Amino acid sequence: MLRRALQPGLSRGVLGRGLGTHRGRSTLGKVEGSGGYRGSWVAPVSSYVTFRTRDPTHDGKTVGRLGEGDQNGKVSEIKKKIQSVLPRGAWNPLRDTSYLPPEHSDVVIVGGGVIGLSVAYWLKRLEKPQGAIRVLVVERDHTYSQASTALSVGGIRQQFSVPENIQLSLFSVEFLRNINEYLAVVDDPPLDIQFNPSGYLLLASEKGAAVMESNVKVQRQEGAKVCLMSPEQLRNKFPWINTEGVALASYGMEHEGWFDPWCLLQGLRRKVQSMGVLFCHGEVTRFVSSSSHTETTSGEEVTLRRIHEVHVKMDRSLEYQPVECALVINAAGAWSGQIAELAGVGKGPPGTLQGTQLPVELRKRYVYLWHCPQGPGLETPFVIDASGAYFRREGLGNNYLGGCSPTEEEEPDPGNLEVDHDFFQDKVWPPLAQRVPAFETLKVRSAWAGYYDYNTFDQNGVVGPHPLVVNMYFATGFSGHGLQQAPAVGRAVAEMVLDGHFRTINLSPFLFNRFYLGEKVQEHNII
Amino acid sequence: MLKIIIPTIMLMPMTWMSKPHMIWINTTTYSLLISLTSLPLLSQPNDNSLNSSLLFFTDSLSAPLLTLTTWLLPLMLMASQFHLSKEPLARKKLYITMLILLQLFLIMTFTATELIMFYILFEATLVPTLIIITRWGNQTERLNAGLYFLFYTLVGSLPLLVALLYMQNNMGTLNFLMAQYWTQALPNSWSNILLWLACMMAFMVKMPLYGLHLWLPKAHVEAPIAGSMVLAAVLLKLGGYGMMRITILLNPLTSFMAYPFMMLSMWGMIMTSSICLRQTDLKSLIAYSSVSHMALVIVAILVQTPLSYMGATALMIAHGLTSSMLFCLANSNYERTHSRIMILARGLQTLLPLMAAWWLLASLTNLALPPTINLIGELLVVMASFSWSNATIILMGVNITITALYSLYMLITTQRGKHTHHIKNIKPSFTRENTLMMLHLMPLLLLSLNPKLILGPLY
């Protein structure tokens, strides 16, 4: 009887399980599918180590001894365990796990781009008292090779049609102008984000002139300094422009321009690390959540989910670490849709709140850099033509950056970041050459492609908590104007997390509910 | 005494042989029954002790502590059910075995006659606690916490062993009942001062005294719920109990040797209370509040008057129940939101009203509201220290105010205000949790009807 009592413990390895191995029980660094490795004690750091420790003789034994008592197998198992514990064995309980994220973090921010870092910064800055919340930023690619932030053209403007967008931009500009007060780190050099306040010039044809006027009125109400120019005034101010087909232009006179997004990213990263936020180089592969069924006041059944754990998979390895968390912030940019799916957003019959997916998807956009010696001078603003093509000055050597958003039918395949040079020849160059005659002779120096976290619903950001997955907050879907709104959006999300409502800028039109209720916040000035 | 010890020992085979769905039921029920067997010991007829054998005895100081210890085991088991539910069966049983072992050592410690046996069991309680903290704690810092806990207590208590052996040599016996009649006044010399220090440091570290309290916030915060409960409720009282026993053998050195420790305690009590006001982590706040209350107990024991001893014993029992209840409440929060930060789980009153009632009562007893025994303890200690020196009333008064401040701060932050968006779908309170809180609160409130049970041998 004693044996029976002890057996459930010993035969499945009390010794084996109790001491931090990777058989799915300890919390430090697990490997997927490692439950099948009986007797494997080594903590696999990468997949090839796992294979190396597989014991081939063990497999042979199970095959050859079918039907014979389990005893011999157990004895040799115990012997193997003892051998691995002894000095020259393979098991090391005190191995270094500093590359793994912590087992517990109050807030996990999925995505380490400018939005994610901005949320982390404001969370740490606005929390009362200081140092309370533990924040973990999970970033899949520390080189930011595919991140929208690094590949962005870097413009910032207030010329939007939605008032909230204007307010976000205004605050962000104030943040960027005072960046060295916001992001100062002791003993580190100040940041130079190379803000060129050259303004934006939006051109409108006859059709769009009325819309542009009303937009400018909204912008002026919010405090942006925009002036409307007629074609005459345009020609006077910018002699290099060909005003054929232009009915009206709006020119931002202050707080608009472009800056270096990489510098902002690194500045935020540096500051956020000094404030105590932990970084993890891994990918979120799973959310462990629990659901509860409740009834709303009108009597309909609703399932609320709560995320308990985030499984972060290490880079180039099968190992993952479950991170226990109270909140998850989805700032994964173009891949937010996939993260939201993992969390269970959109799993339900279509047309219901449960079935409403996060409509953010990857869209590829090309940016071309060309050299044009007779091009417009240093005063050139960021010009956005009525046809949708845009360009801006880059540096002081007559180089220009530009591109155009393709129409819905000609969306390129977002599977990779390969550049289609024919697109420049066919769709970007002609309108630009027509608008700026100097651009008829130019030489394309280089080009790259980046992703928009495109919100297919209304091309504006999604900010705030999800109504059903109660502890997931969104900060994504900005469709090409995320970088310029990042500081303000970070603050808004931090206020939502800490206070439960937006305090400074009211972003309630941007909540997730609008996808279900069908209330579009359509932004007219999207490039 | 064997009628308590042998059933406790037998709880262990019972755990291992229970069917999987019966382990919690069996252990909780039987440990509750064992606690009922220890209740009769509370009726101490006079200020002498009840001697059950040469090895074990209880008097009106150790009986309430013993009852508290045995009462706590079913509560610890009830509190641990949730976080162990996902563990494999063998590990659950191992955890329960550790708790039972700890219980056993604690029972024997509180009832030991021989001081060396007391010492051995005092050290032995460290081992199951260390295993519980480092194996089942929640975060990676638990290894650090275990290390701090182990080494602070070990280093503090090693001189105690030497001192006890010396006294055994001197007096011929360390049987406490005899030693209290055979003590001679220790003359004032350096070696006797060292002897005094050696005897007291172990308990000072355990209480903990303000300068040596670093292990406590770490250990309390990183331990799982049962570990926190037993640490706060009972293990700290081991220090107080030991000090009360050993000061009998150390007269009259205590009258002047106590000065630095009294200063440290009084200053420390205000310091730790103030730290509570700045804490963001809920468990950390309760841990520092424990340090603050125990500092009062240290002051009381070092003042060495009948009134202060009454206050010390009352405060120990009251604080044990209150602190354990606060940890259970913090744990119920943690199980739902997976975060110990207070600001991330606010406004719970609208979501869990009954739990808010328990929070209210726990906070009120923590701030020593009349007529609870917390108040009786604190008041007696304040009175005794006032008679020792008039100036201490200022410090005590400031401490009581700050205690009220942080208790209410904790209550208001977690319960009142608008709730955060992400705690909308927390699970409602389980019956198990409500029972747990009620079982903590019931003795606390009932004792205010008959406090002489816990007022110690000098009542």
In a domain? residue A25? no
- Residue A122 and residue A493 in contact, taking contact as beta carbons nearer than 8 Å: yes
- Residue A321 and residue A282 in contact, taking contact as beta carbons nearer than 8 Å: yes
**Domains in chain A, number:** 3
Examine the domain organization and report whether A420 and A493 are in the same domain.
Answer: no
B contacts of A325 (beta carbons < 8 Å): 338-339
Examine the domain organization and report whether A144 and A268 are in the same domain.
Answer: yes
CB atoms within 10 A of CB A65: 12
Any bridge partners for residue A305, and if so which? A291, A469
In a domain? residue A344? yes
Least Cα distance to A109 among A270, A277, A271 occurs for: A277
H or E element that contains A249? strand A248-252
Say whether B422 and A294 touch across the interface (CB within 8 A): no
Examine the domain organization and report whether A181 and A294 are in the same domain.
Answer: yes
Interface-testing mutation among A12, A103, A511, with chain B (most B C-beta atoms within 10 A): A103
pLDDT for res A70: 65
B contacts of A326 (beta carbons < 8 Å): 337-339, 341, 344-345, 422
Q: Decide if pLDDT at A265 tops 70.
A: yes
Give, in degrees to the nearest 5, the angle at Cα B316 between B196 and B155: 40
DSSP string of A382-416, one letter each residue: EEE-TTSEEEEEETTTTEEEEEEPPPGGGPPPTTS
pLDDT for res A136: 95
pLDDT for res A369: 94
Any bridge partners for residue A394, and if so which? A399
Q: What would the mean pLDDT of B133-151 be, rounded to a whole number?
A: 88
Length of chain A: 527
In a domain? residue A163? yes
- State the Cα–Cα distance between residues A385 and A201, nearest whole angstrom: 8
Categorize the per-residue pLDDT at A54 as very low, low, confident or very high, splitting at 50, 70 and 90: very low
Ramachandran quadrant class, A89 (left: phi over 0; alpha: psi -120 to 50; beta: rest): beta
Which tokens hold the place of A439? 């651009």
B contacts of A131 (beta carbons < 8 Å): 280
In a domain? residue A16? no
B contacts of A102 (beta carbons < 8 Å): 139-140
- Residue A196 and residue A258 in contact, taking contact as beta carbons nearer than 8 Å: yes
Categorize the per-residue pLDDT at A88 as very low, low, confident or very high, splitting at 50, 70 and 90: low
In a domain? residue A12? no
* Smallest CA–CA distance from A469 into chain B, residue: B422
pLDDT tens digits for A410-446?
Answer: 888 888 888 889 999 998 999 999 999 999 999 999 9
Q: Domain residues for A169?
A: 98-195+255-359+456-526
Say whether B139 and A104 touch across the interface (CB within 8 A): yes
Q: Decide if pLDDT at A61 tops 70.
A: no
* Smallest CA–CA distance from B131 into chain A, residue: A18
Identify which of B88, B140, B278 has the shortest CB distance to residue A102. B140
pLDDT tens digits for A6-46?
Answer: 444 444 434 433 343 333 344 556 665 544 334 334 444 44
For A485-499, B25-39, B246-260, which range has the lowest pLDDT when averaged over its residues? B246-260
8-state DSSP, B281: B
In a domain? residue A21? no
Which tokens hold the place of A323? 């991170």
pLDDT tens digits for A92-113?
Answer: 666 777 888 998 999 999 999 9
Categorize the per-residue pLDDT at B178 as very low, low, confident or very high, splitting at 50, 70 and 90: confident
Phi/psi of residue A202, nearest 5 degrees: -100, 130
CATH code for the domain in which residue A142 is found: 3.50.50.60
Q: Domain residues for B104?
A: 1-41+52-449
Examine the domain organization and report whether A462 and A409 are in the same domain.
Answer: no
pLDDT for res B187: 87
Examine the domain organization and report whether A312 and A185 are in the same domain.
Answer: yes
Residue A477 three-state SS: coil
pLDDT tens digits for A345-401?
Answer: 988 888 888 889 999 999 999 999 999 998 888 889 999 998 889 999 998 989 999
Q: Decide if pLDDT at A167 tops 90.
A: yes
- State the Cα–Cα distance between residues B97 and B146, nearest whole angstrom: 19
Examine the domain organization and report whether A237 and A332 are in the same domain.
Answer: no
Categorize the per-residue pLDDT at A77 as very low, low, confident or very high, splitting at 50, 70 and 90: confident
B10 interface with A at CB cutoff 8 Å: no
Examine the domain organization and report whether A387 and A478 are in the same domain.
Answer: no
pLDDT for res A53: 39
Least Cα distance to A136 among A324, A286, A343 occurs for: A324
**Domains in chain B, number:** 1
pLDDT tens digits for B202-240?
Answer: 999 999 999 999 999 999 999 999 999 999 999 999 999
Distance from CA of B41 to the nearest CA of A (A): 35
Partner B, chain A 147-176, Cβ-Cβ below 8 Å: none
A145 interface with B at CB cutoff 8 Å: no
Query: How many helices and strands, by DSSP H and E, does chain A display?
Result: 16, 18
CB atoms within 10 A of CB A84: 18
Say whether A326 and B343 touch across the interface (CB within 8 A): no
Name the more confident of A88 and B190.
Answer: B190
Say whether A5 and B16 touch across the interface (CB within 8 A): yes
B281 interface with A at CB cutoff 8 Å: yes
Examine the domain organization and report whether A419 and A375 are in the same domain.
Answer: yes
Q: What would the mean pLDDT of A284-297 be, rounded to a whole number?
A: 87
Tell me the pairing of strands A360-371 and A319-330. Answer: unpaired
In a domain? residue B47? no
CB atoms within 10 A of CB A313: 18
Q: Decide if pLDDT at A119 tops 90.
A: yes
pLDDT for res A31: 63
In a domain? residue A504? yes
pLDDT tens digits for A456-466?
Answer: 988 899 999 99
8-state DSSP, A501: S
Least Cα distance to A339 among A367, A307, A363 occurs for: A307
Examine the domain organization and report whether A277 and A189 are in the same domain.
Answer: yes
Q: How many CB pairs under 8 A join A and B?
A: 92
Q: b/e for A289-300, b at 16 or more Cβ within 10 A?
A: beeeeeeeeeee
Which tokens hold the place of B251? 């007269």
Examine the domain organization and report whether A160 and A184 are in the same domain.
Answer: yes
Examine the domain organization and report whether A240 and A373 are in the same domain.
Answer: no
Tell me the pairing of strands A135-139 and A319-330. Answer: unpaired
Q: End-to-end CA distance of chain A: give it in Å, rounded.
A: 77
Which tokens hold the place of A169? 């931009």
- Residue B436 and residue B314 in contact, taking contact as beta carbons nearer than 8 Å: no
CATH code for the domain in which residue A434 is found: 3.30.9.10
Q: What would the mean pLDDT of A199-222 be, rounded to a whole number?
A: 91
Q: Round the average pLDDT of chain A to a whole number and report it.
A: 84
Examine the domain organization and report whether A264 and A349 are in the same domain.
Answer: yes
DSSP string of B125-171, one letter each residue: THHHHHHHHHHH-SSTTHHHHHHHHHHHHHHHHHHHHHHHHHHHHHH
Which tokens hold the place of B131? 């295993």
- Cβ neighbors of A454 (< 8 A, separation 6 or more) are A334, A360, A361, A362, A363, A477, A479, A480
In a domain? residue A15? no
Q: What is the value of pTM for the model shown?
A: 0.86
Say whether A497 and B139 touch across the interface (CB within 8 A): no
Distance from CA of B225 to the nearest CA of A (A): 16
pLDDT for res A93: 67
